[in-house]
A = this chain, B = another copy of it.
Amino acid sequence: MKDVQKELPKHQIPIHRVGIKNLKVPIYISKMTGGEQHSVADVDVYVDLDKNSKGTHMSRLAIGVQKFIGHQLNKNVIVEIADYIKNKCDAKTCQIIYRFPYFIRQIAPVSKEPNIIHSDVEFNLTKNDSVNFDITVTTTATSLCPCSKDISEYGAHNQRSKIKLTARLDEKQFVWIEDLIHISNTSASCKIHSVLKRIDEKAVTEEAYDNPVFVEDIVRSCYQQLSKLDIKDFNVEVENQESIHTHEAYASIKKN
């Protein structure tokens, strides 16, 4: 059977990234607190393509990901998948991205009612001669506006904030998803729960009012805390779904 992908392309130009996006697979992952957690991931896989090949064999990318479905998802396994795919596709670089919700079990602040909350996580690994591994965690938290609080006789507008932290790691570095969630929560006005009884609602309302922050304050606090971790680079983005506007307020800082 003819291998059209191997033919010479009309325009002999090397391609930076070719691959597949949004392949959905079940995963499981170890938790900082011990044990494992099941989730569902959307996966992207890319390889480079030299100038003399018309196409890559995309089925090999999907096979690579699916071969490792039985394994716990972590950096080492993603490196293994990347090596498998690089080898099968004759590529110099392979980039693999997993995006999935990650659940945290917590207790409400006063009633101690147990509740579960999720953050959105992305593992983004690039393997060529070396390994680059980015972990991105987007945590939802409450922010309360310092200006609104200060200038108003009473009350203060507050809203959902999406706090997105990316830690860029070299081959020896490591962070827990939980570490990044903690940095986000402690930079916001108050952390979020999925169950709040009335005594808890009173507590979070007052805590948020006691800790007003702009998007600017949140990114600076995250920057400050991320600077103390042993990581190569990082990026911080915050988006406030303003309760007094239809548009979002936004701030970002990156290190390097």
A residues with CB within 8 A of B: 1-5, 9-11, 13-26, 28, 37-40, 44, 46, 49, 54-56, 58-59, 62-63, 66, 69, 101, 103, 113-118, 140, 142, 144-148, 150-160, 190, 192-199, 201-202, 204-206, 208-209, 214-217, 219-221, 223-224, 239, 241-254
23 A-B pairs whose Cβ atoms sit less than 8 Å apart in the complex: A3-B198, A4-B147, A9-B216, A11-B223, A19-B250, A22-B247, A24-B118, A24-B246, A26-B39, A44-B250, A55-B146, A59-B197, A142-B243, A142-B244, A152-B206, A154-B206, A155-B208, A157-B158, A157-B205, A193-B245, A194-B245, A194-B247, A243-B243
Q: Which residue from chain B places its CB closest to the CB of A251 in the assembled complex?
A: B18
Task: Say yes or no: A23-B247 contact (C-beta < 8 A), given A150-B4, A216-B9.
Answer: yes
Q: Which residue from chain B places its CB closest to the CB of A158 in the assembled complex?
A: B243
Task: Say yes or no: A154-B4 contact (C-beta < 8 A), given A56-B216, A62-B195, A101-B24.
Answer: no
Chain B residues whose CB sits within 8 angstroms of the CB of A24 once the complex forms: 101, 103, 118, 246-247
Other-chain contact of A152, B39, B103, B142, B205 (Cβ < 8 Å): B205
Q: How many copies does the complex hold?
A: 4
Chain B residues whose CB sits within 8 angstroms of the CB of A54 once the complex forms: 146, 214, 216-217
- Taking a contact as CB atoms under 8 Å apart, the answer to whether A101 and B206 are in contact is no
Q: Which residue from chain B places its CB closest to the CB of A39 in the assembled complex?
A: B40
- Taking a contact as CB atoms under 8 Å apart, the answer to whether A55 and B15 are in contact is no
Chain B residues whose CB sits within 8 angstroms of the CB of A46 once the complex forms: 250
Other-chain contact of A253, B15, B23, B26 (Cβ < 8 Å): B15
- Taking a contact as CB atoms under 8 Å apart, the answer to whether B147 and A55 are in contact is yes
Chain B residues whose CB sits within 8 angstroms of the CB of A144 once the complex forms: 155
Given A21-B249, A59-B196, 6 more contacts at CB 8 Å? A1-B198, A18-B215, A23-B194, A142-B157, A142-B243, A147-B201
